[in-house]
Amino acid sequence: MKQSIEMSDEGPVATSPRRRVRKAEAAPNLGVPVAGHGIDVEQNIYQTVFDSVLNQRLAPGTKLPEPALCELFGVSRAVIRKVLQRLEHDRIVELRPNKGAVIAAPTPEETRQIFEARRALEVSIVEIAARCHTAQDLADLRHLLAHEHEVTHNPYQPTWAACAREFHLRIAAVAGNPILTSYLTELMTRCSLIVALYQPIGNAACEHAEHGRIVDYMEKGDVASARAEMGRHLRALEDNISLDRSGSTQTLAQMLNLG
Amino acid sequence: MKQSIEMSDEGPVATSPRRRVRKAEAAPNLGVPVAGHGIDVEQNIYQTVFDSVLNQRLAPGTKLPEPALCELFGVSRAVIRKVLQRLEHDRIVELRPNKGAVIAAPTPEETRQIFEARRALEVSIVEIAARCHTAQDLADLRHLLAHEHEVTHNPYQPTWAACAREFHLRIAAVAGNPILTSYLTELMTRCSLIVALYQPIGNAACEHAEHGRIVDYMEKGDVASARAEMGRHLRALEDNISLDRSGSTQTLAQMLNLG
DNA sequence: GAAACGAATATCGTTGACGATTATGAGTTG
DNA sequence: CAACTCATAATCGTCAACGATATTCGTTTC
């Protein structure tokens, strides 16, 4: 997670527009194994699964068989296994030895830990950001807030979820520490997993007003209040999570938004 | 990094005692490829490299050719590549496409970010620990402090480095959040890399007195002072890093403490 | 004598196949 | 009819080999 994540609600990123995936015929490769461009393909697959989880097309617990992914993306198992390993390290999937990969399903205890870790991290991030922000940073944040206000009450949940996510990531960008940003990105993705698990209708909203207050405190240079407001904000978010479950009968290809 | 790291200054963990690694004859495997026990082997290799980096037998910039590791550990390249990928994600090695793997060498800017991230994290960790510690936790920390006092001024740097490391990890354990602990573990390893880079003689000591004060504040329940002391402590540690370089002419096998 | 060119070597990326392990379903029996 | 057993299928872990790429070293030329 070196660079910021681009949100796209329309499935795979930068796939050839006329691509038609069919069994055992996907990505013919012309017989020549082109080496060296593997990173793009790998990043593509990773991003597709990542976005699908973020947009809740891939529910926690969904199995991800390697042969199925091979045919869907037209690559060999080695590539798939590499991507799955990255996804496991980012806690997006769980790799059970000899039993295959599934989308991670955080337990209630893990949920508590994830939110606690996120509070610990993001409170420090907003403190750094409150100390070192520029006028341009504040303008950008205000712009995001306006956009956020527009999509409030949008019936399509992933849109404003992406919007809220972008706000938090932007604050991390203001703080200017890519390490902290990568940790936050990982934790926010796991929060999305939790929302997918426990919020079928998807209404664990970031309160818009709280976001606004955070920027206000940052602008006033009130570091302590910015910290406190972020802490309250994240605690309220955690409290909004109720506990129930949902299922789905879509195919893997549909959930990945392919073909 | 699911569980806490055990420090061992004596090289590879749990290798067969009578094992004699020789070229093209290592780990005969009896012709049958035993599958399923791969996780142990994989963890073994990871831990060996990890410890070697921690103990500064593997200097930053050292190349890790896949064929060499295959012969040293008697496994196929697939296993080595999997371990190298994990090490890359933990920022211990850097994987350059088509150019091989090297032990990561943080730049000065990355160094600043690593220390900032560690301060941000560990200040929150000590706050949580100061709120939720038990009497047993304090006793354990005091015990570590005593051991730390014993090995102070020990000429063998890795011993007290491991000791100081254990102290910080124990505080994270008291806080009881494995996610924060894993992040801290990663950052402390990267700090070890930095020490290996910029401190040839290895004297970036954790001040023993500061550790003691942190425990004192925790015991008194003075959360704010514990936070502040940890922040000062880590800032002092960063300030102790000066900038010079060292090299080594050991073989890879020697640095890994094998054969 | 130094720099540029080219061949040889070393190393990496990818693939396909083989054996091992787990899940599934048919068949049998109490 | 339910529960158990066994055979079949699906999936995973590992390996060896092939082509591609980067590095190195010897040779040539100015």
The distance (Å) linking the CA of A99 with the C1' of D6 is: 21
Residue B64 domain-assigned (yes or no): yes
User: A153 to chain B, minimum CA–CA distance in Å?
Assistant: 33
Yes or no, beta carbons of A183 and B36 under 8 Å apart: no
Do B195 and B121 lie in one domain? The reply is yes
Interchain contact A182–B (C-beta under 8 A): no
Q: For the segment B97-120, what is each residue's pLDDT rounded down to a tens digit? A: 999 999 999 988 999 999 999 999
Q: Kindly determine whether the C-beta of residue A98 is less than 7 Å away from any atom of nucleic acid strand D.
A: yes
| pLDDT tens over chain B, length 259 residues | 322 222 333 333 333 333 333 333 333 333 344 444 566 889 999 999 998 988 888 889 999 999 999 999 999 999 999 999 999 999 999 999 999 999 999 988 999 999 999 999 999 999 999 999 999 999 999 999 999 888 877 667 667 788 889 999 999 999 999 999 999 999 999 998 888 777 655 455 667 899 999 999 999 999 999 999 999 999 988 888 754 443 445 666 666 666 5
Containing domain of residue B42, as a range?
29-104+246-255
Do B51 and B64 lie in one domain? The reply is yes
Q: What is the pLDDT of residue B75?
A: 93
Total count of domains within chain B: 2
Beta carbons within 8 Å of A66's beta carbon, 6+ residues apart: A77, A80, A81, A84, A100, A101
Residue A148 domain-assigned (yes or no): yes
Q: Kindly determine whether the C-beta of residue A101 is less than 7 Å away from any atom of nucleic acid strand D.
A: yes
Residue B10 domain-assigned (yes or no): no
Report which DSSP code applies to A257. Answer: T
In sign, the C-alpha dihedral spanning B1, B5, B9, B12 is negative
- With residues binned 3-state (H G I as helix, E B as strand, rest as coil), the percentages for chain A, rounded to 5, are 60, 5, 35
Closest CA to B258 of B102, B27, B98, B28: B27
Q: For A96-222, where are the alpha helices, taking DSSP H only?
A: 108-132, 135-151, 157-175, 178-198, 208-220
Do B43 and B113 lie in one domain? The reply is no
In sequence order, the β-bridge partners of residue A94 are: A102
CATH code of A162's domain:
1.20.120.530
Q: What is the pLDDT of residue B155?
A: 66
Give the HSE-up count for residue B87: Cα atoms under 13 Å, Cβ half-sphere.
Answer: 28
Do B120 and B228 lie in one domain? The reply is yes
Closest CA to B128 of B223, B54, B198: B223
Closest CA to A85 of A71, A68, A64: A64
The distance (Å) linking the CA of A98 with the C1' of D5 is: 23
Greatest alpha-carbon span in chain A: 63
Residue A5 domain-assigned (yes or no): no
Beta carbons within 8 Å of B13's beta carbon, 6+ residues apart: B6, B44, B47, B48, B51
Which H/E stretch holds residue B159? helix B157-175
Interchain contact A36–B (C-beta under 8 A): yes
For residue A43, the one-letter residue type is Q
Do A158 and A119 lie in one domain? The reply is yes
Q: Are B86 and B96 in contact (CB under 8 A)?
A: no
Nucleotides of C under 7 A from a protein CB: 10-17, 19-23
Residue B35 domain-assigned (yes or no): yes
Q: What is the pLDDT of residue A207?
A: 76
CA distance readout (Å), A109 to A189, A194, B58: 17, 12, 38
* Separation of alpha carbons A144 and A221, rounded Å: 20
Q: Which residues of B touch A86 (CB under 8 A)?
A: 85, 89
The nucleotide lying nearest B63 (C-alpha to C1') is C11
The nucleotide lying nearest A39 (C-alpha to C1') is C13
Residue A250 domain-assigned (yes or no): yes
Residue B3 domain-assigned (yes or no): no
Nucleotides of D under 7 A from a protein CB: 10-17, 19-23
Do A52 and A85 lie in one domain? The reply is yes
Yes or no, beta carbons of B117 and A86 under 8 Å apart: no
Q: Are A95 and A88 in contact (CB under 8 A)?
A: yes
Rounded to 5°, the CA angle A23-A25-A27 comes to 115
Do A232 and A139 lie in one domain? The reply is yes
Residue B197 domain-assigned (yes or no): yes
Do B118 and B227 lie in one domain? The reply is yes
Phi, psi for A221 (deg, rounded to 5): 75, 15
Do B58 and B161 lie in one domain? The reply is no
Closest CA to A59 of A105, A21, A97, A122: A105
Interchain contact A5–B (C-beta under 8 A): no
Do A114 and A98 lie in one domain? The reply is no
* Separation of alpha carbons A214 and B175, rounded Å: 27
| pLDDT tens over chain A, length 259 residues | 322 222 333 333 333 333 333 333 333 333 344 444 566 788 999 999 998 888 878 888 999 999 999 999 999 999 999 999 999 999 999 999 999 999 999 988 999 999 999 999 999 999 999 999 999 999 999 999 999 888 877 666 667 788 889 999 999 999 999 999 999 999 999 998 888 777 655 455 667 899 999 999 999 999 999 999 999 999 988 888 754 443 444 566 666 666 5
Interchain contact A152–B (C-beta under 8 A): no
In the three-class reduction of DSSP (H, G, I as helix; E, B as strand; rest coil), residue A86 is classed as helix
Q: Are A148 and A211 in contact (CB under 8 A)?
A: yes
Closest CA to A181 of B176, B116, B255, B31: B116
CATH code of B44's domain:
1.10.10.10
Interface test with A, best of B124, B171, B188 (most A CBs within 10 A): B124
Give Cα B166 distance to the centre of its chain: 10
Do A142 and A220 lie in one domain? The reply is yes
Helices (H) and strands (E) in chain A, counts: 10, 3
* Separation of alpha carbons A5 and A169, rounded Å: 9
Q: What is the pLDDT of residue A33?
A: 42
* Separation of alpha carbons B164 and B100, rounded Å: 33
Do B231 and B126 lie in one domain? The reply is yes
Closest CA to B9 of B124, B154, B116: B154
User: B104 to chain A, minimum CA–CA distance in Å?
Assistant: 15
Q: Kindly determine whether the C-beta of residue A65 is less than 7 Å away from any atom of nucleic acid strand D.
A: yes
